[in-house]
Chain A
Amino acid sequence: QKEVEQDPGPLSVPEGAIVSLNCTYSNSAFQYFMWYRQYSRKGPELLMYTYSSGNKEDGRFTAQVDKSSKYISLFIRDSQPSDSATYLCAMGSGGYQKVTFGIGTKLQVIP
Chain B
Amino acid sequence: SQTIHQWPATLVQPVGSPLSLECTVEGTSNPNLYWYRQAAGRGLQLLFYSVGIGQISSEVPQNLSASRPQDRQFILSSKKLLLSDSGFYLCAWNFDRGTEAFFGQGTRLTVV
Taking Cβ atoms with an 8 Å cutoff, the residues of A that contact B are 8, 31-32, 34, 36, 41-46, 49, 88, 90, 92-99, 101-104
- Choose one: A32, A95, A103; the contact of B100 (CB below 8 Å): A32
Please determine whether A49 and B103 come into contact, CB atoms closer than 8 angstroms: no
Chain B interface residues (CB < 8 Å from chain A) = 6, 41-44, 46, 49, 59, 88, 90, 96-106, 108
Pair B97/A103 contact, Cβ less than 8 Å:
no
Q: B106 contacts A32, CB within 8 Å?
A: no
Given A88-B44, A101-B43, A103-B41, are A41 and B100 neighbors across the interface (CB < 8 Å)? no
A88 vs B108: C-alpha distance when bound (angstroms): 19
Contacts of B96 in A (CB 8 A): 94-95
Using CB atoms, name the residue of chain B closest to A31: B98
Q: Is the CB of A41 within 8 A of B98?
A: no
A104 pairs with B99, CB closer than 8 A: no
Given contacts A44-B90, A103-B43, is CB(A94)–CB(B103) below 8 Å? no
Return chain A residues, CB-CB under 8 Å to B98: 31-32, 92-99
Q: Is the CB of A98 within 8 A of B99?
A: no
Q: What is the chain B residue whose CB lies nearest that of A95? A: B98
B43:A102 contact, CB within 8 angstroms: yes
- Assuming the contacts A94-B96, A94-B98, asked whether A44 and B103 have C-beta atoms less than 8 A apart, the reply is yes
Asked if residues B97 and A41 are in contact (CB atoms below 8 Å), the reply is no
A43-B90, A103-B42, A103-B43 in contact; A92/B102 too (CB < 8 A)?
A: no
A67 to chain B, nearest CB (A): 16
Tell me, in angstroms, the Cα distance from A36 to B49 when the chains sit together.
20
Chain A residues with CB under 8 A of B105: 42-43
Q: In the bound complex, what is the Cα–Cα distance between A8 and B42 (angstroms)? A: 10
Taking CB as reference atom, which chain A residue is nearest B49?
A: A98
A94 touching B49, Cβ below 8 Å: no
Best-surrounded residue of A44, A101, A104 (most CB of chain B within 10 A): A44
In whole angstroms, how far apart are the Cα atoms of A42 and B46 in the complex?
Answer: 17
